[in-house]
Structure 1
Amino acid sequence: MFRHKNIFLLISVIFLFSACMGSGTGVKTSQSSENSRPGWTTAPPRHAGYIFGVGSVETYGNTRTAIQRAHESARVDLLSQLRVTVSGDMQTSVRAEGDESRFTSIQKIVQQQTSSRVEEIEMTGMEITETWVNPSETEVWALARMNRAKTESELIFALEDIEDKLLQRGTGSGTTLSRIRHIFPSLKELEERRHLIHQLNFLSAGQKISERKNSRQVDALQTEIQDLLASLTIRLEPENDDAIQMKGILAQTLTSMGFNIHDQNPDLLISLSITMTPVQRNQLHHVVSQARGQVKNPQGRILYALQESGRSSSSDAAIASNKAVEDMARKLADILAAGLFQNI
């Protein structure tokens, strides 16, 4: 069951706010004498229901870029009040909550593929309200503001919308392949849901989430999707001698990444033709490898093609050959992981 949970491709740790904060609206930029320095640069405003952040940077001769950096600094300062750990270079990260344990290679690869499709979710309500440049243009200050109640309300609304879509879609019926095709949009939505929950946890609204009926139902659905993805089986079909030689290590590599390799009743067939050419030059042994393959459904219909090349070298011919086999197996496994759940 642990491996089944490990195959779930979407539970990741850190994707948060430094890259996805909007610049806000109604920004007021001013440049005036030192005597008229805004009070908020030394004492942030206090207003019921709002959170403020102040940021300042040196211009180093480039005021325009400095303004952008000051805005980011103000956002980070605001977020630092919402249980965020801020590093010296203003990159933000979450203090890990719960068991954010190990991830296999396939999880990392497919997670990247899925995350790249997730639209950046802004922290609703966060805005830069004022920017101040000192008279000598050596410093820029910025003030960020967020309406906490409004932010929480809008995030919960977005969360409920996503959870409704997930529950309406379910996991489908039919073959394993058809069900995985059916739930593929859910992978993106579960990733979006995770980001929304992270933000709500930042606002200390996590208890409101866990108490909702839909939330518990989606958690159960997520487990069902885990089991579905983990049930996908693959049969390797080598088509030449070099591919036969590589079959064992490729199967081992794919298994370690979470795939089920079975010869009986597979959901997918992967045919492979591999050519490994040894070359000796300057007392070094080189092995140039070329691999081509096709991923098919049980009826033999080609779903997509695989192609990869590699080169390994060593002063020992056997070591060069072994390295070539291992490197090609790893490359093919990575390609398969990156494309499988998008092309089936």
Structure 2
Amino acid sequence: MDRKNLRNLPIRASSNMWSRSLILVSSLMLGACTELFVKSDDSSEPTQVANTNQAAPAAKASSSTLNTAAKNATPSWVLSPPSDARYLYGVGSVIQSEDLVADIKGARQQANADMANQLRVTVSQSNVQSTQVSQNTSQSEQVLKSFSSTTRMDTESLVLEQSETVENVATGKYVYVLQRLDRAKITARLRREITELDSQLEAIALEAKTQGNLVEQWQSILPALPILSERAQKLDLLQLYSTSANLASAKSETIKGLEKQLSSLLTQLSIQVSSQSARSQSLIKVLRSELTDKGLTPSSKASSPLRINLHISTNKQVKEGRTYQFVNLNASLDEVTHDSSKMLASWSLTGRGISATPEQATQSAYKKAAKSLADEVFTYLTQGNLANAQ
């Protein structure tokens, strides 16, 4: 290689000492298992040149090297990343600068984000499907979906923990990094975690009360709710990552019985919705629907053990042909017995609707107020507060 071609390489050095120093510093920053090979003007060490016509090498990722390629020669895996059953691949790239260590770090972050993005799309589709409630879905499943809706696991953290570098390439203009994610490692970890959660659920089932006061029964089984929710999330991820048709994660009969008890208690802990406010029936209807969507049981029976009391006030404004409707709710949740009642919690909430049509503005305001109240009641009942009020 003549001097003219050497000047086109992405890194230049004036001596072997400079080159070896750069290798040492870069290796420390990239990790003990990452090697950085460069060729200086008068170095006798060989340059490892990227083969841009082949897919990523099968070599162990921890021994990946920085490869150099002809200027603007894009590796084939940038446009066509490898694909196999065990690994998920991601590609990252940055404009090459004088700081190759920073360039590689930036490209690696881009590759990890690429893999997380691929998973996020799949997880999002799975979440949408899992939140669709059918007529055959039990109340316990509906409650678990509601409980899990704000606690979905972050796939990006798994990617960052388990990803590894396959190859780095510097072309003089760009730095490319190929990362991969070992599905087998993640699925093994998830199976272990699901087994641990099952052990906790088995212990709760043995201590759960199955007779007597409904509130006491609910309190005894409530610790299972976050564990069941976490189990469902981990199972979703296991199904996502696993390439095996047999996930080996079936629930035991004891855990199935625990879920059945949860569903039964939710039915028995029905909630009567009551209001003395005029024209409140439309809002009560919406509130019942919101409670049902969360797996709770609204009821019109006065014998229900729980009751929501509503006090409703409304006001509206019309500006430039648009109606601004406001609904103010003062609500309380009471525990009701055959001869008395006790307030457990209370809330003040507001719903607002805006529309050119007054009826639509009112309906929108009712919907927002009812949803906010249903969220508050659900959170209260699933955080252990019900028994704490006894």
TM-score between the two structures when normalised by the length of structure 1: 0.66
d(CA) in 2 for partners of 1:129, 1:323:
51
Runs of 5+ consecutive residues of structure 1 not aligned to the other structure: 1-23, 77-85
Structure 2 partner of 1:271: 309
Q: Does 1:180 align with 2:186?
A: no
Matching residue's letter, 2:90: G
Could you tell me how far apart the structure 1 residues matched to 2:109 and 2:162 are? Answer: 15
Aligned residue among 182, 185, 192 for 1:146: 182
Q: State the one-letter code of the partner of 1:45.
A: A
Identity of aligned residues (%): 17
* CA offsets 1:147-170 (integer angstroms, 9 cap, x no match): 83x655543332222111101101
- Residue 69 of structure 1 pairs with residue 98 of structure 2: no
The code of the aligned residue for 2:55 comes to T
> 1:71, 1:314 → 2: CA distance?
44
Post-superposition CA distance 1:111-141 (Å, at most 9, x none): 324547x999847983425662515361231
Please report how far the alpha carbon of residue 185 of structure 1 lies from its aligned counterpart in structure 2 after TM superposition: 2.6
Corresponding position of 1:303: 344
Q: Name the aligned partner's letter for residue 126 of structure 1.
A: Q
Residue 68 (structure 1) shift? 0.6
Q: Match of 2:370, SS?
A: helix
Aligned partners of 2:257, 2:167: CA distance in 1, in Å? 47
Does the CA-based 8 Å contact 1:286-1:314 persist in structure 2? yes
- Looking at structure 2, the residues matched to 339 and 317 of structure 1 have their Cα atoms a distance apart, in angstroms, of 33
Q: Which has the higher relative contact order, 1 or 2, with Cα contacts under 8 A spaced 6 or more apart?
A: 1
Q: How far apart are the structure 2 equivalents of 1:228 and 1:120?
A: 37
Aligned counterpart for 1:36 among listed residues 48, 53, 60 = 48
State the Cα distance separating 1:251 from its structure 2 match: 3.4
Deviation at 1:234, TM superposition (A): 0.3
Confirm or deny that 1:240 pairs with 2:253: no
One-letter amino acid of the counterpart of residue 266, structure 2: L
Against the structure 1 CA distance between its residues 323 and 217, is the aligned structure 2 distance closer, same or farther, given a 3 Å change threshold?
closer
Q: For residues 1-344 of structure 1, what are the structure 2 equivalents within 5 Å?
A: 28=34, 30=36, 32=38, 35-37=47-49, 42-45=55-58, 51-52=86-87, 54-60=89-95, 63=103, 64-73=105-114, 75=115, 87=118, 91-93=120-122, 100=130, 102-103=132-133, 109-115=146-152, 122=158, 126-129=162-165, 132-134=168-170, 136=172, 138-144=174-180, 146=182, 148=184, 153-170=188-205, 171-173=208-210, 174-201=212-239, 202-204=241-243, 207=246, 209=248, 215-241=252-278, 243=280, 246-255=283-292, 258-262=295-299, 263-280=301-318, 285-298=323-336, 300-313=341-354, 320-321=361-362, 324-342=365-383, 343-344=385-386
- Asked if 2 retains the 8 angstrom alpha-carbon contact of 1:32 and 1:135, the reply is no
Q: Which runs of 5+ in 2 are unaligned?
A: 1-29, 40-45, 61-84, 97-101, 135-141
The one-letter amino acid of 1:235's match is: Q
Contact 1:53-1:145 at 8 Å conserved across structures: yes
1:336–1:115 distance in 2 versus 1, CA, 3 Å? farther
Larger CA deviation: 253-262 vs 161-170: 253-262
Q: 1:151 to 1:65 in 2, by over 3 A?
A: closer
SS of 2:172's equivalent in the other structure is coil
Counterpart of 1:270 in 2: which secondary structure? strand
> Are the counterparts in 2 of residues 130 and 142 from structure 1 also a CA contact under 8 Å?
yes
3-state DSSP of counterpart to 1:67: helix
Deviation (angstroms), 1:323: 5.0
* Alignment TM-score, normalising by the size of structure 2: 0.60
Q: Relative to 1, partners in 2 of residues 1:39 and 1:265: Cα closer, same or farther, differing over 3 Å?
A: farther
Following superposition, the deviation at residue 55 of structure 1 comes to 3.3
Deviations 1:68-110 (A, max 9, x none): 112344x56xxxxxxxxx85xx6441686xx957238977543
Distance of aligned partners of 1:128 and 1:274 in 2 relative to their CA distance in 1, 3 Å threshold:
same
Q: CA deviation at 1:292?
A: 1.3
1: CA distance between counterparts of 2:316 and 2:276?
Answer: 20
Rounded Cα–Cα distance in structure 1 between residues aligned with 2:181 and 2:273: 56
Letter of the structure 1 residue corresponding to residue 220 of structure 2? H
Tell me if the contact between 2:95 and 2:173 (Cα under 8 Å) persists in the aligned partners: no
Work out the CA distance in 2 between the residues paired with 1:305 and 1:29. Answer: 63
Contact in 1 for aligned 2:147/2:226 (Cα 8 Å)? no
The Cα of 1:233 is off from its aligned counterpart by 0.2
Alpha carbons of 1:250 and 1:309: their partners in 2 closer, same or farther (altered >3 Å)? same
Distance 1:122 1:54, change over 3 A: closer
- Flag the 1:69–1:254 CA change in 2: closer, same or farther, 3 A: same
Question: How far apart are 1:340 and its partner, in Å?
Answer: 3.8
3-state SS, counterpart of residue 288 of structure 1: strand
Which structure has the larger Rg? 2
